[in-house]
Amino acid sequence: MQSRWSDADAAECIAHYREAGADLALRVYSSRLIGREPDLVLHGGGNTSVKSKMRDLFGEEIAVLHVKGSGWNLDTIEPPGLPALRLAELERLRGLDELDDESMLRELRRALIDPGAPNPSVETLLHAFLRHRFVDHSHADAILALTNQPDGKKRIHELFGDRVAWAPYVMPGFPLAKQVAEIVEGSPGADAIVLERHGLVTFADEAQRSYERHVEIVDAAERTIAIEIEGRRLLDARPVVSMREVGEIAPLVRGALAVPTQDPDLPYRRWILEHRDSTEISHFTAADAAPMLAESPPITPDHVIRTKGPYLYLDKPAYSELDTFAAQLAAGVECYRQAYRSYFERNVEARGISRSMLDPTPRIVLLPGLGLFAAGETRKEARIAADIAEHNIKTKIWASMIGHYAGLPESDMFDMEYWSLEQAKLGRRNPDPLEGQVALITGGAGAIGEGIAKTVLAAGGAVMLTDIDPERLSAVAARLASDRCETVEADVSNAVEVRAAFRQTALSFGGVDLVVANAGVAVAGRLEELELEEFQRAVDVNLSGAFLTIREALRQLRMQGTGGNIVLLSSKNVFAPGESFGAYSASKAGAHQLGRVAALEGAAFGVRVNMINADAVFGSEENPSGLWKEVGPARAAARGLREQELEAFYRDRNLLKARVTAEHVGNAVVFFATQLTPTTGAALPIDGGLPGAFPR
């Protein structure tokens, strides 16, 4: 690890945040340097501070502590993310013999200069009790690899001597803050302290010096590890080669992890999956020590709220027989849940306390030959869990190769997992209607496809857009601008490409819950004049494409085993065909009938199939409807209208005089996906009301 300090960048930061003052600006700058090193901190981990001066309401100069606030990440922190507290009030707390967590939080809030500021870090008092102006705390992987050992203290002393002090493990909060201050004050030669199984703290009166001490110490640890493991195979493992694709296996993993509910309409709570398969993961999952290391606690207790303690490791997976593999998975997940319940009951009883048990489902699944799957309620949470798991695996490999990995005892892990201050980091929120659901939308580059995607994303779902036009597809994804939206090029009339699109969806998100068969083409022409090739084009996309999409959706949803929804974009032409629209009307009517049959067949395994009959969706200026672009001129001419008058004509002919938008169609899709009513095999008109097209 190397210092990334730049005097020019530091000066630029001071100039940019001149209103905040040089001290706080430098604190922002060096905090970001630390936060941008994933080997130091991950996703809200670590904390930094600076002691400074400011004037109060009466113009009097007071000493303050700026410390990282809850909800901020070091890599993107801004001055408001380092709220100011009255330092004298914090220092006074050190004279207390005891201070419980609730009282500590109350005192921290009371010391804030701005009562509307974010909650200060739970380790604020650690920063306050140290006399140095700048304090940096990270969970550096290399430091944890050295310290998570039976002889961790000895290793640190041999490497760094008296310049790095050692603090035995104590949970964060008031006791740890007092312990660290006393140890540092009793170690006059120390400019850093290692917190057992909790990382590294450096301190100095200058931002650059504290930061560069941090980097220097971590670099020395990394070099030591590199020398010890040089030329050796990671964990002496020979990676397993799987004959199965990740996209084929992921839905089975996702189905096994789904949490049964008591709601008959939504019988499962689903997860988004994130897959990883680095060199370290490949060796880790193939090692003889893998089951033991997977079961061991995380490298620092903070990680338990994201990944739980143990990971689920599946030994000798039967990839060659998917039914057997699915049974192995189900048994493994149930065994994990039972073990978690026992862990919870054991620790609650030992403490004589009452707690509500958290969900016992594993968050990390390790599969030899395939890597790891991380589960989260959202894609962001799944990615956070995967990042943390990757660093845990790398660090456990290092620790095992240079000695023997040793995590915290179970009781300490329980205290951290059920610590109210740690749980508060996750925040409390009401889930969005489609949170945890994944939608695959064909015809995703079109106006209706974009509108559906927009509403599904707004409802909290993840989206895979497929289309045959990669340029338009990319443009739609750019406008949607969501990390929950992916794209894949696919021709719905090609069975191989349809299956590949579903597997890509599983690779990206773990599986699929909502399939929207939206792809379609408009073919106009009187029957007596229509060429067979043109008629066949409509059939290939509108009918065969719907068949292939529905077929693969039913296969995937059956394999996943958690029910789901298929929504077919039918047309008002199914009930009210238009002259010179025979190919379109017939192919859409055939697809509509397929949807009804799919509703009959899918109900047995919890899949609902419904149709949406939309009409006159012209799209937006950014994404005008391809259908109307193709047939609009002829339809306008047939009615004696100018082309720009066509949309108004269709609006005025419906009962509600409504302009039908792609988002209206999306709202209907979301309605079906939320399963607010026990509905399948239905046709829902989105047309403003056309008596001739009333379903019957």
Average pLDDT, the chain: 94
22-34 tens-digit pLDDT: 999 999 999 999 9
Residues 69 and 171 in one domain: yes
pTM of the predicted model, to two decimals?
Answer: 0.92
Tokens representing 479?
Answer: 């406008």
Do residues 389 and 374 lie in contact, with contact meaning Cβ atoms separated by under 8 Å? Answer: yes
Asked whether residue 632 is assigned to any structural domain, the reply reads no
Residues 212 and 273 in one domain: no
Asked whether residue 647 is assigned to any structural domain, the reply reads no
Do residues 594 and 547 lie in contact, with contact meaning Cβ atoms separated by under 8 Å? Answer: yes
Asked whether residue 432 is assigned to any structural domain, the reply reads no
Residue 667's nearest CA partner among 448, 462, 435 is 448
Tell me what pLDDT residue 616 has: 82
Q: Answer yes or no: is pLDDT of 426 > 80.
A: no
Tell me what pLDDT residue 649 has: 86
Q: Residue 374: beta bridge partners? A: 274, 364
Tell me what pLDDT residue 427 has: 63
CATH number at residue 529: 3.40.50.720
Helix axis angle, 246-257 to 322-351, nearest 10°: 40
Residue 197's nearest CA partner among 146, 160, 154 is 146
Domain that holds residue 51: 7-229
Residues 274 and 213 in one domain: no
567-604 residues labelled b (16+ CB within 10 A) or e (exposed): bbbbbbbbbbbbebbbbbbbbbbbbbebbbebbeebee
Q: Residue 609: beta bridge partners? A: 566
Share of the chain above pLDDT 70, in %: 98
193-202 tens-digit pLDDT: 999 999 999 9
Residues 573 and 462 in one domain: yes
Residue 72's nearest CA partner among 46, 110, 52, 40 is 46
Residues 535 and 445 in one domain: yes
Q: Answer yes or no: is pLDDT of 338 > 70.
A: yes
CATH number at residue 198: 3.40.225.10
Tell me what pLDDT residue 587 has: 96
Considering only 42-51, 481-490, 496-505, which range has the smallest mean pLDDT? 42-51
At 640, the pLDDT band (50, 70, 90 cuts) reads confident
Residues 443 and 420 in one domain: no
Asked whether residue 446 is assigned to any structural domain, the reply reads yes
159-178 tens-digit pLDDT: 999 999 999 999 999 999 99
Asked whether residue 358 is assigned to any structural domain, the reply reads yes
Looking at 365, 389, 424, the residue that finishes a domain is 424
11 vs 624, residue with greater confidence? 11
Asked whether residue 638 is assigned to any structural domain, the reply reads no
198-255 tens-digit pLDDT: 999 999 999 999 999 999 999 999 999 999 999 999 999 999 888 789 999 999 999 9
Looking at 380, 401, 424, the residue that finishes a domain is 424
How far is CA 369 from each of CA 267, 282, 364, 395, rounded to the nearest angstrom? Answer: 32, 7, 15, 20
Q: Residue 202: beta bridge partners? A: 136, 192
448-498 tens-digit pLDDT: 999 999 999 999 999 999 999 999 999 999 999 999 999 999 999 999 999
Do residues 178 and 98 lie in contact, with contact meaning Cβ atoms separated by under 8 Å? Answer: no
Residues 61 and 124 in one domain: yes
Looking at 229, 263, 291, the residue that finishes a domain is 229
Q: Residue 313: beta bridge partners? A: 366
d(CA 256, CA 251): 8
How far is CA 259 from each of CA 253, 256, 485, rounded to the nearest angstrom? Answer: 12, 8, 24
Tell me what pLDDT residue 112 has: 96
Tell me what pLDDT residue 675 has: 95
DSSP assigned state of 216: H
The 3-state DSSP class for residue 530 equals: coil
How many CA atoms within 13 Å lie on the side-chain side of 606?
Answer: 19
Average pLDDT of the segment spanning 383-401:
97
Residues 393 and 324 in one domain: yes
Q: Answer yes or no: is pLDDT of 522 > 90.
A: no
CATH number at residue 253: 3.40.225
Number of domains in the chain: 3
Tell me what pLDDT residue 421 has: 78
Tokens representing 230?
Answer: 């040089």
Do residues 180 and 209 lie in contact, with contact meaning Cβ atoms separated by under 8 Å? Answer: no
Residues 395 and 457 in one domain: no
Which run of H or E residues covers position 381?
helix 379-402
333-342 residues labelled b (16+ CB within 10 A) or e (exposed): beebbeebee
- Three-state secondary structure of 167-188: ECCCCCCHHHHHHHHHHHHCCC
Residues 275 and 363 in one domain: yes
550-560 tens-digit pLDDT: 999 999 999 99
Asked whether residue 534 is assigned to any structural domain, the reply reads yes
Residues 409 and 452 in one domain: no
d(CA 198, CA 302): 8
Helix axis angle, 447-458 to 470-480, nearest 10°: 30
Asked whether residue 625 is assigned to any structural domain, the reply reads no
How far is CA 380 from each of CA 66, 69, 305, 462, rounded to the nearest angstrom? Answer: 28, 20, 14, 11
Average pLDDT of the segment spanning 272-286:
97
Residues 40 and 88 in one domain: yes
d(CA 249, CA 424): 34
d(CA 613, CA 569): 6
Tell me what pLDDT residue 647 has: 79
User: Are β-strands 371-376 and 364-367 bridged in parallel, bridged antiparallel, or unpaired?
Assistant: antiparallel
Tokens representing 42?
Answer: 């991950």
